[in-house]
Amino acid sequence: MYVTLPGIYAQAEAIDFKIQYYRKLMDSVTAIAHPNIAFIKYWGNREDEFRIPSNGSISMNLSSLETRTSISLDAGLPADQITINGEIAKERDAERIRNFLEIIRRQSGISTYARLSTSNNFPTGSGIASSASGFAALALAGSKAYGLSLNEPALSRLARKGSGSACRSIPAGFVEWLPGKDDTDSFAVSLASPDHWQLVDLVAIVNAGQKKISSTEGHHLASTSPLQSARVMDTDRRLTICREAIMERDLNLLAVIVEQDCLMMHAVMMTSSPALMYWLPATLEVIQAVVHIRSEGIPAFYTIDAGANVHVLTTIEFVPDIEVKLRAIASVSTVLISPAGGPARLVTSDLKF
């Protein structure tokens, strides 16, 4: 066959294009992280920029729910390209993610922009905080993509700068955020692995809409409540009891302290200026149902984050019974069920050739 010089150039160009394409695929890093439910809540910062919390907190990762984030660097991009659940990110979300990528870029010394796609396997707007799993997955995938090799505390510190509770989605299972005094010593550690205790979270969804006041705005208001300083001062007591209840697998002890901690945080919210009222009538209905379920001898307790939905916790054998009871409440639209989950992790099977 007769081959012309332009033909050879065209073929070389096509091969080069393919190499570039596969290199981009190869450089794509994917990570998965779970959201977490706080037993002892984080509410209020001592320092806002780095999210150094006013108090320590304890949580459990939720294995059935996850955020999956893929990221690849592309020297040809004029700006970061961000998709969330298959759609181009809204400006508010995009800005928060871009600011976080800037932190990683500064840390790595690489200024290249990134193509990022993130999705949740739980219904969007279901009222489950996706910022914890979102920034945990992004911290892991992003740091790897920019060539950083961070150990668990360093990753947890990085995730914290995206969203405070995200630092607790880095380690496995039952997790404590050591508040620290500054950026260097404020990170989360695992207290126990997910298989330590077959505790299950049933999230009774009573409002699938987006909350009007974000947690970030709420943290700023915490200090305006006269109750916040008393809540913060009492934290060591609650943390000690919570830690002991988890280590001893003592559901009754955990129930008392988690419900008290939840009500203390919501008391602070309700007495802030302006007041924050996240509850709906249906929230109280589920709380009362849980108290009733317990009076029938079924071990269960509730906790509520910055929203109206109620997390009901119990051990695995009581899940079917409690699920039926929660679904019977007219204002409960659905129930998401999740045992304790593992750490944030990289997914390598995404590299396809």
CB of 37 to ligand DP6, least distance (A): 8
CB of 238 to ligand DP6, least distance (A): 12
CA 281 to CA 258: how far, in whole Å? Answer: 21
Give Cα separations from 93 to 87, 115, 177, 217, 281 (angstroms): 12, 15, 25, 15, 30
Tell me, what DSSP letter sits at residue 248?
T
**Cβ 131 to ligand DP6, closest distance in Å?**
5
In the complex, what is the shortest distance from the CB of residue 59 to ligand DP6, in angstroms, rounded to a whole number? 6
The nearest distance, CB 179 to ligand DP6, in angstroms, is 12
Distance, in Å, from the CA atom of 102 to the CA atom of 174, rounded to the nearest integer, reads: 30
- Find the angle CA(115)-CA(84)-CA(70) to the nearest 5 degrees: 45
Task: List the beta strands (DSSP E) in the chain.
Answer: 29-33, 36-40, 45-47, 52-53, 57-61, 67-73, 81-84, 87-88, 114-120, 174-178, 187-192, 199-205, 301-303, 310-315, 334-339, 345-347
* Cβ proximity to ligand DP6, 112 vs 216, nearer residue: 216
Give the residue with the Cβ less far from ligand DP6, 42 or 146.
42
Q: At its nearest, how many Å lie between ligand DP6 and the CB of residue 202?
A: 17
- Of 57 and 119, nearer to ligand DP6 (C-beta) is 57
Distance of CA 107 to the CA centre of its chain: 22
**List of residues contacting ligand DP6 (CB under 6 A):** 38, 41-43, 51, 57, 129, 131, 163-165, 215-216, 219, 305-306
Give the nearest distance from C-beta 208 to ligand DP6 in angstroms.
17
Which is nearer to ligand DP6, 72 or 156 (by Cβ)? 156
At a CB cut-off of 8 Å and minimum separation 6, what does 157 contact? 167, 183, 184, 186, 187
Give the nearer residue to ligand DP6 in terms of CB position, either 129 or 137.
129
Phi, psi (rounded to 5 degrees) for 90: -65, 150
Q: Least distance (Å) from ligand DP6 to the CB of residue 269? A: 9
**Residue 338, strand partner residues:** 201
Please answer whether residues 15 and 340 qualify as being in contact, where contact means their C-beta atoms are separated by less than 8 angstroms: no
* C-alpha–C-alpha distance, residues 201 and 206, integer Å: 15
Our CB check for ligand DP6 shows the closer of 42 and 302 to be 42
**Cα separation of the two ends of the chain:** 31
Nearest to ligand DP6 of 201, 305 (CB atom): 305
* Angle between helices 281-295 and 319-327 in degrees, nearest 10: 140
Q: Supply the minimum distance, in Å, between the C-beta of residue 46 and ligand DP6.
A: 13
> From CA 53, how far away is CA 191, in angstroms rounded?
19
Identity of the residue, 119 or 163, whose beta carbon is nearer to ligand DP6 in the bound complex: 163
Question: Closer to ligand DP6 at the Cβ: 65 or 293?
Answer: 65
Distance CA 209, CA 48 (A): 27
